[in-house]
Amino acid sequence: MKTELTLLLPALRRFAYSLTGTMPDADDLVQNTVVRLLKSPPPEGVPLAKWAFKICRNQWIDDYRSQKVRTLATDKPELQDENFTDGEAEMINDITLGEVNTAMNSLSDEQREVLSLIAVQGMSYSEAADILAIPTGTIMSRLARARANMVSFFNQKSGSMA
C-alpha cells in the first residue's frame, strides 16, 4: 500500500488543489486524506485510488462545511505569505493560473469536482462516476455545463477587456 499511495500522491494533490484553490489548503487536505487512509484502508476489492479520491472529496466537504461556520485567516490577503517573482513569463503564468482558478471557483461544487476528475486528473467518465457515486449520465451533464460555464467566464472576461 505504501508504494501505491506514494505513486497516487501527486494526482491526489492536484485533485485537492482543484477543490480548495490554494496549495496550503490542498496540502492540508491531502495530509488529512492520508491520515484517514492509514486509519481506514480500502475495503476488500476496492482500488486504493478510488478509495483515496472518495476520502479526499468527503474530507473536503467536511472542511468546507466547517469553513462556513468560522472565518479562516487565509481568507485575509494581508495575512497571506505570497512569494512574488520577477519575469514577464512567470507573471503571465501566474495571471493565467489565477484566472483559471477564479473560473473554477465560479463553478458549482458539483461541476468543479467533475471537471477536476475528468479534465485535470484524466479519469474516465465511469471512474469519476464511481468516485462520486453518481450515474455516468450525470457526470456527462455536469461536465458539459462546467465546460460551458468556463467558456462563458473567459468570453465575458475577454469582452470586458475590449
**Which one-letter amino acid corresponds to residue 60?**
W
Q: What cell was used for 86?
A: 520577477
Instruction: Provide the CB-side half-sphere exposure for 139 (13 A, CA).
Output: 19
Give me the domain span that covers residue 98.
Answer: 87-162
Do both 49 and 94 map to the same domain?
Answer: no
pLDDT for position 141: 94
Mean pLDDT of the chain, nearest integer:
81
In degrees and rounded to multiples of 5, residue 107 shows phi and psi of -80, 160
pLDDT for position 162: 46
Do both 162 and 91 map to the same domain?
Answer: yes
The yes-or-no verdict on residue 104 having pLDDT over 50 is: yes
What is the domain count for the chain?
A: 2
Give CA–CA dist 16/62, Å, rounded.
13
Residue 29 in domain? yes
Q: What secondary structure letter does DSSP report for 116?
A: I
pTM over 0.85: no
- Select from 13, 46, 76 the last residue of a domain: 76
pLDDT (average), residues 13-33: 91
Please indicate whether residue 133 or residue 88 has the higher confidence score (pLDDT).
133
Residue 19 near residue 120 (C-beta atoms within 8 A): no
pLDDT, tens only, 64-86: 766 655 554 455 555 455 554 44
Q: What cell was used for 100?
A: 483559471
